[in-house]
Amino acid sequence: MLIYTLKRLLQAIPTLLIVITISFFLMRVAPGGPFDGERQLPPEIEANLMAAYHLDEPLPMQYLRYMGNLLQGDFGPSFKYKDFSVTELIMQGFPVSLEIGGLAILLALIVGLPLGIAAALKRNSTVDYMVMGTALTGIAVPNFVIAPIFALVFGVLLGWLPAGGWNGGALPNLVLPVVALSIQQIAYIARMMRASMIEVLGSHFIRTARAKGLNEGEVIWRHAIRPALLPVMSYLGPAIAGIITGSVVIEQIFGIPGIGRYFVQGALNRDYTLVMGTVVFYGVLIVLMNLIVDLLYSALDPQIRYDD
Amino acid sequence: MISKHHKMMSRYLLAALGGIALGAMAVPAQAFTVDIANGAEPGSLDPQKTSGVWETRITRALFERLVTYAADGSLVPGLAEHWEISDDGKQYTFHLRDAEWSDGEPITADDAVFALRRVLEPAIANQNANLYYPIVNARAINAGEKSPDTLGVEAVDAHTLRIRLTQPTAWFLQALAMTEASPLPEHVLANADDGWIKPGDTVSSGVFTLSQWQPQSRIVVTRNPHYYDADQVSVDEAVFYPIDDANAALNRFRTGEMDIAYSSVPSSRFAWARENLGDALRVGPLTAEYFYMFNLHDGQPLADRRVREALNLAVRRDVITDQILGQGQTPSFWYVPRNTANAPRGDLDFADMTMDERMARAKALMQEAGYGPDHPLRLRLNYNTLEDHKKIAVAVAAMWKPLGVEVELINSEAAVHYATIREGNFEVARYGMVATINDPFDFLNAYADSGSASRSSGYHDAEYDALVAKSTRELDPQKRRQLMTRAQQRLLDDYALLPLYDYVSVHLVSPAIQGWEINPMDVHPLRYLQESEQ
């Protein structure tokens, strides 16, 4: 197990190198630069800006400089947010995104799994149709529709909760963004759990369990749920990485100081160092989450073993 | 938040005292906090590394200039109590008042010299550095050809600053009111140039000091007891929230959480806001112009003046301002926004013609230029992503249609759009120009020799250049306006661009706040804000 983990971590290094290299050059191929804005700059001032950020050097040279700094753990200064380094920005924003995203995933599991199981057990019943109908709506209605509606209804019209703001992570400020972020996840998880439950319930070992004379509750609790969780687990790996790195929509609408906006704004502003920083960070998270999921697999399914 | 604080306090007292007459209780003095929805997260709070209004709103509160803005946007003495300008307009002598940095050190003329040298250093890469080029040697310093200590700025003594210019410059005082010209604490920066802006440690000269900065969350500034006019300031604390979603800012203004919300009414919500928000909605003119830039380079279809005139004739500006935007924008037949100080007069020569006359003339011109039903003019029209830009582009394309013009609309994100313009790779492109100083200089200079618009559009006119250069040197306001009017008229008679409208600013200000005045420069110094009597 330990050797397997180490091996996987070592394999991640070339993967990340490729991701970094491709992102670096893709970013530079995109038309427009970090200083292209409504105010067109006089040539001498533009030259000063390019020199200040080493953008006047040949591209391969810039790449080497970037990789060199990266090896020393230095993501460089943000082009846009000049008083902060990229590392500072990520380190200040990530705990916030982690909190919102983690709570959203937790909520999604607490609500989504039982719904999915219930729908599978009462297949083709009213319960099933209601759960699946709601889930489909949840998937179909995007964040940028739900979030403003939440803010308007619960924040402005009813006045029950703050319409936005972080306020140091106070509970009332967390409710709306967490719920808005979890709705889609609840829907996905419920659907996935239902499908995989139905498949497991139809398999031979469940028939065997029933033939042994176990009662239905025991069959479901001891034999069906664990294997049915496997597809949900493999979905959760990348999903968690995606959610805890923030959502630009949720952050903008509720004024949450997470890192989700850096992915989009960094790219739109051509803030090269910030984009690279978030890409590297996200890449590492994905690798780690996938590894954790694979390790959890063996805990859930005794047939899966990582010996060598 | 004022009223909310009172409300909460009252509720608390009521609960605690079980309804004992409140009148007898002394309510403790409330701190006057102003919560501001400020648009975006600042890129920097170093006054020489800022470029947007959402940044300068904060840096102006932190750093005082020699000359500064009054509530109505006009210039008033700041750190300089008074000044003299030599008869030839080339020498400025400022007399600094006794003032202190927030750490108690005196603010001296050396700090002003230090700041002006620094703003021109190539490594600082200041985006408005060209406003200081009139100072002796400034341009060469900014190009890295001369050392910053050769700059024509000297501290005669601790309280006297002398600035020498290469030529008289009508708008130079305006440049000194910019946040980049704030004197800087040399005693702090000499030791730590990078990262000197940190909450609690930043030494400032303005009405406020920086007490908190949580990126993407909030920036808190607190009253600076060392400020020279501190006892005239009512605001104790201001909190800037970087809310970049206009609807979100509007919501939080409606709940009473925000006292001021800048640019927070999406155009789709404007009519609703006018109905429902009453006096809180503040709409005012802005020194900014929305226009279509034409590509006049050789070989381009718009190198033909007749086509440019026809395209101008066919566009009904009032339809765009009244029916598409509807926020009070002024239809524009000129280039320099009319609310700019000293704005030149004059307009496109067809401003008085009826629409029928204009269309007839436009069609005749197109025919003359060789276009017709069999040979339509195909044009690309570029705009950057925004719903209003799209609506306007669609409307303009429809207005050009009767001339037989077939328009291809090209939408791109801002960085791509402006790169396309910079590279001259367009035929017609949407452009918004905002004044950095309250003067026609920015606008006129853009189309003059080596100006940004001149380079992108390929517009060159030696006489225009000469008029603009002369108007900059002219110190008599009357004569200067005549020169600028002549310059603008040349540009308009050439139909070098297609002006559409003068912008307006749309903000929300709680009726509980007084001293916030609409002005074309859109500056609203916090030091003049007061609580309304309630």
Question: Which CATH number does the domain housing residue B138 bear?
Answer: 3.90.76.10
Question: Which is it for the CA torsion B89, B93, B95, B99, positive or negative?
Answer: positive
Q: For strand B260-261 and strand B33-37, is the pairing parallel, antiparallel, or unpaired?
A: parallel
**For residues B155-181, average pLDDT:** 96
Which residues does chain B have within 8 Å of residue A256's beta carbon, measured at their own beta carbons? 216
pLDDT, mean over chain B: 91
From the list A172, A263, B435, B255, the residue with the least C-alpha distance to B264 is: B255
**For residues B395-409, average pLDDT:** 96
Q: For strand B513-514 and strand B497-509, is the pairing parallel, antiparallel, or unpaired?
A: unpaired
Q: CA A205 to CA B403: how far, in whole Å? A: 77
| Paired residues of B71 in beta bridges | none
State the pLDDT at residue A307.
Answer: 61
Percent of chain A at pLDDT above 90? 36
Å from B250 to nearest chain A CA?
Answer: 10
State the pLDDT at residue A222.
Answer: 79
The confidence band for B8, taking pLDDT boundaries of 50, 70 and 90, is very low
Q: Is the pLDDT of residue B5 over 70?
A: no
Tell me the residue type at B327: Q
In this structure, is residue B17 part of a structural domain? yes
Contact assignment for A151 to B251 by CB distance below 8 Å: yes
State the pLDDT at residue B489.
Answer: 97
The confidence band for A296, taking pLDDT boundaries of 50, 70 and 90, is confident
Q: How many CB pairs under 8 A join A and B?
A: 156
The confidence band for A74, taking pLDDT boundaries of 50, 70 and 90, is confident
Residues B190 and B304 in one domain: no
The answer to whether the CB of B322 falls within 8 A of the CB of B391 is no
Q: Is B144 left (phi over 0), alpha (psi -120 to 50) or beta?
A: left
The beta-carbon neighbor of A255 closest among B42, B215, B241 is: B241
**For residues B219-238, average pLDDT:** 95
State the pLDDT at residue B516.
Answer: 96
State the pLDDT at residue B20.
Answer: 37
| Percentages (nearest 5) of helix, strand, coil residues in chain B | 35, 20, 40
Contact assignment for B450 to A251 by CB distance below 8 Å: no
Which H helix or E strand runs over B174?
helix B172-176
Q: CA A118 to CA A131: how far, in whole Å? A: 9
Quote the tokens at residue A185.
Answer: 């996840």
Q: CA B153 to CA B91: how far, in whole Å? A: 10
Residues B17 and B72 in one domain: no
Chain-centroid distance of CA B293 in Å reads 20
> For B331-376, what is the HEC assignment?
ECCCCCCCCCCCCCCCCCCCCCCCHHHHHHHHHHHHHHCCCECCEC
The beta-carbon neighbor of A33 closest among B41, B143, B419 is: B419
State the pLDDT at residue B194.
Answer: 67
The answer to whether the CB of A106 falls within 8 A of the CB of A243 is no
| Paired residues of B331 in beta bridges | B501
Contact assignment for B414 to A80 by CB distance below 8 Å: no
State the pLDDT at residue B17.
Answer: 38
Q: Which of B38, B55, B216, B449 to mutate to test the interface with A (most CBs of A within 10 A)?
A: B216
Q: CA B524 to CA B65: how far, in whole Å? A: 15
Residues B408 and B491 in one domain: yes
pLDDT, mean over chain A: 88
The confidence band for B111, taking pLDDT boundaries of 50, 70 and 90, is very high
Q: Which of A27, A28, A29, A36 to mutate to test the interface with B (most CBs of B within 10 A)?
A: A36
CATH (domain of B306): 3.10.105.10
Contact assignment for A164 to B420 by CB distance below 8 Å: no
Q: Which of B176, B195, B214 is the last residue of a domain?
A: B195
Q: CA A259 to CA A90: how far, in whole Å? A: 6
DSSP string, B381-445: EEEES-HHHHHHHHHHHHHHGGGTEEEEEEEE-HHHHHHHHHTT--SEEEEEEE-SSSSTHHHHH
Contact assignment for B142 to A52 by CB distance below 8 Å: no
Which residues does chain B have within 8 Å of residue A261's beta carbon, measured at their own beta carbons? 216
Q: Which of A27, A28, A40, A176 to mutate to test the interface with B (most CBs of B within 10 A)?
A: A40
pTM of the model: 0.89
From the list B53, B55, B35, B36, the residue with the least C-alpha distance to B45 is: B55
Residues B6 and B96 in one domain: no
In this structure, is residue B225 part of a structural domain? no
Which residues does chain A have within 8 Å of residue B254's beta carbon, measured at their own beta carbons? 156, 163
Quote the tokens at residue A194.
Answer: 């239902």
In this structure, is residue B430 part of a structural domain? yes
Residues 6 or more apart in contact with residue A188 via CB below 8 angstroms: A108, A112, A135, A139, A235, A239
Quote the tokens at residue B329.
Answer: 């924008």
Give tens-digit pLDDT for B470-501: 999 999 999 999 999 999 999 999 999 999 99
Domain count, chain B: 3
Quote the tokens at residue B307.
Answer: 């086509």
The answer to whether the CB of B90 falls within 8 A of the CB of B168 is yes
Contact assignment for A81 to B43 by CB distance below 8 Å: yes
Of residues A17 and B193, the one with the higher pLDDT is A17
The answer to whether the CB of A127 falls within 8 A of the CB of A119 is yes
Contact assignment for A163 to B248 by CB distance below 8 Å: yes
Residues B13 and B102 in one domain: no
Å from A107 to nearest chain B CA?
Answer: 25
Q: Where are the alpha helices (DSSP H) in B2-151?
A: 2-17, 53-62, 109-120, 138-142
Q: Is the pLDDT of residue B340 over 70?
A: yes
For residue B431, give its domain range: 285-504
Tell me the residue type at A260: G
In this structure, is residue B205 part of a structural domain? no
Helix (H, G, I), strand (E, B) or coil at B61: helix
Q: Which of B169, B195, B221 is the last residue of a domain?
A: B195
The confidence band for B193, taking pLDDT boundaries of 50, 70 and 90, is low
State the pLDDT at residue A49.
Answer: 85
Å from B145 to nearest chain A CA?
Answer: 11
Which H helix or E strand runs over B484?
helix B477-493
Residues B350 and B495 in one domain: yes
Quote the tokens at residue B432.
Answer: 């918004």
Phi, psi at B154, each rounded to 5°: -140, 150
Contact assignment for B252 to A165 by CB distance below 8 Å: yes
Contact assignment for A44 to B432 by CB distance below 8 Å: no
Could you give the angle at the alpha carbon of B133 between the alpha carbons of B128 and B138, nearest 5°?
A: 110
State the pLDDT at residue A51.
Answer: 87
Contact assignment for B414 to A148 by CB distance below 8 Å: no
Q: Which of B198, B245, B268 to mutate to test the interface with A (most CBs of A within 10 A)?
A: B245
Which residues does chain A have within 8 Å of residue B125's beta carbon, measured at their own beta carbons? 45, 48-49, 51-52
User: Tokens 């176990």, residue?
Assistant: A214
Å from B446 to nearest chain A CA?
Answer: 9
Q: Is the pLDDT of residue B2 over 60?
A: no
Q: CA B204 to CA B198: how far, in whole Å? A: 11
Å from A285 to nearest chain B CA?
Answer: 22
In this structure, is residue B375 part of a structural domain? yes
The confidence band for B87, taking pLDDT boundaries of 50, 70 and 90, is very high
User: Tokens 């604080």, residue?
Assistant: B5
In this structure, is residue B466 part of a structural domain? yes
Which residues does chain A have within 8 Å of residue B124's beta carbon, measured at their own beta carbons? 48, 52
Q: For strand B497-509 and strand B330-331, is the pairing parallel, antiparallel, or unpaired?
A: antiparallel
The confidence band for B102, taking pLDDT boundaries of 50, 70 and 90, is very high
Residues B141 and B290 in one domain: no
The confidence band for A38, taking pLDDT boundaries of 50, 70 and 90, is confident
Contact assignment for A49 to B432 by CB distance below 8 Å: no
Q: Is B462 left (phi over 0), alpha (psi -120 to 50) or beta?
A: alpha
Q: Which of B180, B195, B210 is the last residue of a domain?
A: B195
Contact assignment for A156 to B125 by CB distance below 8 Å: no
Contact assignment for B125 to A52 by CB distance below 8 Å: yes
Q: Is the pLDDT of residue A24 over 90?
A: yes
DSSP string, chain A: -HHHHHHHHHHHHHHHHHHHHHHHHHHHHSSS-TT-SSSPPPHHHHHHHHHHTTTTS-HHHHHHHHHHHHHTT---B-SSSTTSBHHHHHHHHHHHHHHHHHHHHHHHHHHHHHHHHHHHHTTTSHHHHHHHHHHHHHHHS-HHHHHHHHIIIIIIIS-SS-SS--GGG-HHHHHHHHHHHHHHHHHHHHHHHHHHHHHHHTSHHHHHHHHTT--HHHIIIIIIHHHHHHHHHHHHHHHHHHHHT--HHHHHHHT--SSHHHHHHHHHTT-HHHHHHHHHHHHHHHHHHHHHHHHHHHHH-TT-----
Residues B16 and B120 in one domain: no
DSSP string, B307-327: HHHHHHHH--HHIIIIIII-S
User: Tokens 């002398």, residue?
Assistant: B162
Q: For strand B237-241 and strand B91-96, is the pairing parallel, antiparallel, or unpaired?
A: unpaired
**For residues A246-261, average pLDDT:** 88
Helix (H, G, I), strand (E, B) or coil at B297: coil
Return the minimum-mean-pLDDT range out of A44-58, B429-443, B517-531. A44-58
Of residues A161 and A35, the one with the higher pLDDT is A161
Please report the beta strands in B20-138, taking only residues with DSSP state E, as ranges in sequence order: 33-37, 67-69, 75-77, 80-85, 91-96
Residues B87 and B141 in one domain: yes
Contact assignment for A81 to B252 by CB distance below 8 Å: no
Residues B357 and B293 in one domain: yes
From the list B79, B56, B38, the residue with the least C-alpha distance to B437 is: B56
Which residues does chain B have within 8 Å of residue A257's beta carbon, measured at their own beta carbons? 214-217
In this structure, is residue B118 part of a structural domain? yes
Of residues B481 and A52, the one with the higher pLDDT is B481
Helix (H, G, I), strand (E, B) or coil at B220: strand
The confidence band for B258, taking pLDDT boundaries of 50, 70 and 90, is very high
Residues B19 and B121 in one domain: no
Could you tell me which chain B residue has the CA closest to the CA of A166? B217
Q: CA B407 to CA B217: how far, in whole Å? A: 43
Residues 6 or more apart in contact with residue B295 via CB below 8 angstroms: B302, B424, B426, B427, B428, B429, B456, B457, B458
The answer to whether the CB of B392 falls within 8 A of the CB of B346 is no
Residues B151 and B22 in one domain: no
Chain-centroid distance of CA A251 in Å reads 13
| Paired residues of B163 in beta bridges | B92, B153
Give tens-digit pLDDT for B352-386: 899 999 999 999 999 999 998 788 999 999 999 99
Q: Is the pLDDT of residue B22 over 50?
A: no
Max CA distance (Å), chain A: 85
Return the minimum-mean-pLDDT range out of A156-165, A217-226, B81-90, B304-313. A217-226
Could you give the angle at the alpha carbon of A32 between the alpha carbons of A27 and A34, nearest 5°?
A: 75
In this structure, is residue B218 part of a structural domain? no
State the pLDDT at residue A110.
Answer: 95
Which H helix or E strand runs over B473?
helix B462-473
| Paired residues of B83 in beta bridges | B94
Contact assignment for A252 to B248 by CB distance below 8 Å: yes
